[in-house]
Chain A
Amino acid sequence: MSNRESVSIRSFRVLTGVFLITWLILPLIPLAIWSFAHGWFYPDLLPQTWSLRAWKYALSDTAGVIDSLWLTIGISLAATVLSILVGVPAGRALGMYKFRGKEIVELMILAPTIVPGIAVVLGIHSVFISLGLNNTVWGVILVHLIPTLPYMVLVMAGIFANYDPAFEAQARSLGASSLKTFWYVTLPAIRPGIIVGGLFAFLVSWSQYILTLLIGGGRVETLPLLLFNFATSGRNDITGAIGMIYILPGIVILLLTAKHLSGRSGAVGGFGQI
């Protein structure tokens, strides 16, 4: 493609870039400002008084914010780990083999990514009542699997589609046991997929609201539930602080795995080729 571009096109690009950058950060700014505000009234553009009291409250023992943080992390981690354990073998089957009914299986696994949670969770709720899984953490983890598992399988299927089983055959013929082969040959090759898929799964679970609300019954108070409550209560400063805390783990995970999310990664590209 010609690398010759007129000045007007180039400056259009830069302008659009600036606009995009502003637009992407914009909603987060008032949240951040609120968290440091001691009352911020109309029509002030910035708070008259600043204060750390929202943060002090949010980070205190009595507020339950930190507890909620750990709870949410725990639930999301558990859902992610379960998704990995179940999703890797499924991804292998779908990525490496052809079999009768494969398209139907793929569709069934894809369905939860399209059908909204509200359509499913009402039915589950009524059954969980009798199973005693309502208002429990495990009930919530189980129900989080519904949206997280498909993403894991999708990503792993993409990875396994590009994977050459000849490496395993080679290892076996050199005397390695099944377990060793998996550990030394398969795992390193599929690790990028596990990371990307796990990241997606974690984020999907992290941002769940209605599933946790219904199955958790308000007793399992994850961070999004807490945030929602404060947002509708009018305490914008605490909402701001909790909001900042809520987005933090996502940013940390992104920074740690930035290289795996670049556009050229086969895992991400897999989404466009369902």
Chain B
Amino acid sequence: MTHVSIKGLTKVYPGATEPSLDRLSLEIPTGELTALLGPSGCGKTTTMKMIAGLLEPTSGDVTFDGRSVLQDKPEDRGVVMVFQNYLLFPYMSVADNVGFGLKMRKIDPAEIKRRVGEMLELVKLPDLGDRKPIALSGGQQQRVALARALIVQPNVLLLDEPLSNLDAHLRFEMRDLIRSLQQEMGITTIFVTHDQEEAVVLADRVALILDGQMKQYDKPDVFYKRPVDEATARFFGGHNFINGMSDGQSFDSELGRLILPDNAASGIGKLTFRPENVRIGNAGDGTNSLKATIADVIYLGTQTRLKLRVGDTVLDAVVNPNEIETYGVGDTLPIHLPTSSLWVIQ
């Protein structure tokens, strides 16, 4: 049950000219599951290691419940990290691995045995206590790693790319397990990933880090509706960026005049909307209607991707394959952009 606060955290590696992490600030409420999302090298693993005490920041602070932990040694912080390759101690049994943290605290062996048994039940591996890690599958190893971390009831749990090594169907199982365990035990959890799908499916809130800077820290859906800038939008797969001028209520560009939602920014900027929000056909009241020519059709099985030409502009759209069945390259069709799906970036 720990409120984690990161203030102005910066890391410049010796010999480097640029900081790997530049003044990151973040408030993570107690018991929340937060994702640090970003491409490789963006500084997210560096951040994790600084929270864990495995790396010293160049400047900035990390506090747990208001108290700075920078002076605390790793083993005193109550931060447990689960690495991407699980790192189960290879020569110890599963039970010994899980009980390791308790053994280090010199807890009574009978008590350790009891708690280990409980924990293995929780992660649904009740009979594997005597096996060696090498005999387990990847998914099983991960559960043991989780059990090993949770049993010591850490202040903060750090997960490194928890879902990326798993096959698709295992992902959802693991996702449910992590979420349920985390919420049941109320442990503040931070995980690191480069996959925005993983972030969105697992986290309460996402912090996007690009080039050592934090861009946006919001609930997952906000990144799709209200990305803070073009780089952020692009990271989440946004494709349509139209230059123009906004007056707060409508946007003028090559596409003509489009009606904006309330509290849109005004001034020079880029209009952005996601491919999946482009609608075929006219809106009931004719708002934001455009005439488009199909430039390319890519069938993806569950969706169809379209490249639509409106005047000199090319737009990306993603639609249900059924909607576009009768159309082909070169055809013209009406489309409209719902007001709520538009956003202005500056």
Contact = CB atoms under 8 A, between A and B. Distances in A.
The judgment on whether A and B are partners is yes
B74 interface: yes
Chain B interface, DSSP helix/strand/loop, else mixed: loop
A1 B56 CA distance: 10
B87 interface: no
A137 B277 CA distance: 87
Interface string B41-69: 00000000000011110000000000000
Contacts of B54: 1-2
A3 to B, nearest CB: 6
B269 to A, nearest CB: 44
A178 B204 CA distance: 60
B103 interface: no
B219 interface: no
A264 interface: no
Interface in A1-57: 1-4
B234 interface: no
B173 to A, nearest CB: 33
A2 B79 CA distance: 14
B114 to A, nearest CB: 33
Contacts of B74: 2
Contacts of A4: 56
A3 B58 CA distance: 12
B341 to A, nearest CB: 48
B131 interface: no
Interface string B15-27: 0000000000000
Interface residues of A, number: 4
B124 interface: no
B335 to A, nearest CB: 50
Nearest to A4: B56
B50 to A, nearest CB: 11
A68 to B, nearest CB: 50
A2 B56 CA distance: 7
Contacts of B55: 2-3
A4 B71 CA distance: 10
Contacts of A3: 55-56
Interface in B200-227: none
A1 B74 CA distance: 9
B49 to A, nearest CB: 10
A3 B54 CA distance: 7
Nearest to B73: A2
B68 to A, nearest CB: 14
Interface string A66-96: 0000000000000000000000000000000
A92 B11 CA distance: 46
A232 to B, nearest CB: 49
B70 to A, nearest CB: 9
Nearest to B52: A2
Contacts of B53: 2
B138 to A, nearest CB: 23
A4 B56 CA distance: 7
Nearest to A1: B54
A166 to B, nearest CB: 25
A40 to B, nearest CB: 48
A8 B53 CA distance: 20
Contacts of A2: 53-56, 73-74
A4 B74 CA distance: 11
Interface string B73-90: 110000000000000000
A3 B73 CA distance: 11
A177 B5 CA distance: 65
Interface in B113-161: none
B276 to A, nearest CB: 42
Nearest to A3: B56
A192 B55 CA distance: 35
A3 B13 CA distance: 12
A1 B55 CA distance: 7
A8 to B, nearest CB: 15
A157 to B, nearest CB: 22
A212 to B, nearest CB: 43
Contacts of B56: 2-4
Interface of B: 53-56, 73-74
Given A2-B53, A2-B56, A4-B56, 5 more contacts: A1-B54, A2-B54, A2-B73, A2-B74, A3-B55
Give the 7 A-B residue pairs with the shortest CB-CB distance, closest first. Answer: A4-B56, A3-B56, A2-B74, A2-B54, A2-B53, A1-B54, A3-B55
10 contacts: A1-B54, A2-B53, A2-B54, A2-B55, A2-B56, A2-B73, A2-B74, A3-B55, A3-B56, A4-B56
